[in-house]
Structures are given as C-alpha cells and as structure tokens.
Amino acid sequence: MHSQHATPIRISAFAGPAEAIEAGVGTWCTLAVDLPLRIAAETLRFTSRRLQAQADHFAALGGCGSLKAAVALQTTFLTQGVAAYQAEAITLSQEVAEAASAKAA
C-alpha cells in the first residue's frame, strides 16, 4: 500500500468575528458580484465582435459571383469563428482563474 501524506488545511486566525465577516463579505462580493459582471462584460464584447463578423460575412457573401467563391468565404468564416470561440473560452477561463486566485492570495 502506498502512503499518502495529507496536506493540512490552513485556516487564517482572525482577531475577531468582525474580521471574519469582512473576509466573508469580500469573498462573496468578488465571486458573486464582481466575477459575474466581468464575465457578462466580456461575453457582451465577444458577442459584439461575432455579430460584426457575421454582418461583414453576409455583406461579402452578397458580392460573391460564384458558388466556389461563396464556399471558400464560408469556409474561412467558419474556421475563424471556431478560433474566436476557442480564444474566448481561454479568456473566460482566465477571468475565473484571476478572480479565484485574487481571493486565495
């Protein structure tokens, strides 16, 4: 059997209940208010960029003179869209990680 060493849980000692409440309120504010607002703002910025890209794509499709050109344009748009969504997932993950690490520090 392998021996596992448990990492002890470290709990900060507060001088009193007021400091414990203040720390709890700070954590709550960061995770329940600030983080959702940061995520909402980033999501709206991303949505705006995607809607602009969609509008530009439709305008370009309207100017296509052949099916081949339309397929090429559509392929490029979809490839760029997938890349944009992947990048946005990373951005949102970083927002959450930053908020979590700010409270852990």
The one-digit pLDDT tens for each residue of the chain (105 residues) are 444 444 444 445 556 777 877 777 777 888 888 899 999 999 999 999 999 999 999 999 999 999 999 999 999 999 999 999 999 999 999 999 998 887 655
Output the six-digit token pair for 4: 């596992």
Instruction: Give me the pLDDT at residue 13, please.
Output: 58
Q: pTM of the entire structure?
A: 0.72
**Annotated domain spans of the chain:** 32-104
At 10 the pLDDT is 46
Q: How far apart are CA 51 and CA 85, in angstroms?
A: 13
> What is the signed CA dihedral for 92, 97, 99, 100, rounded to 10 degrees?
140
CB 83 within 8 A of CB 103: no
To the nearest 10 degrees (0 to 180), the angle between helices 35-62 and 67-104 is: 170
The pLDDT value recorded for residue 90 is 98
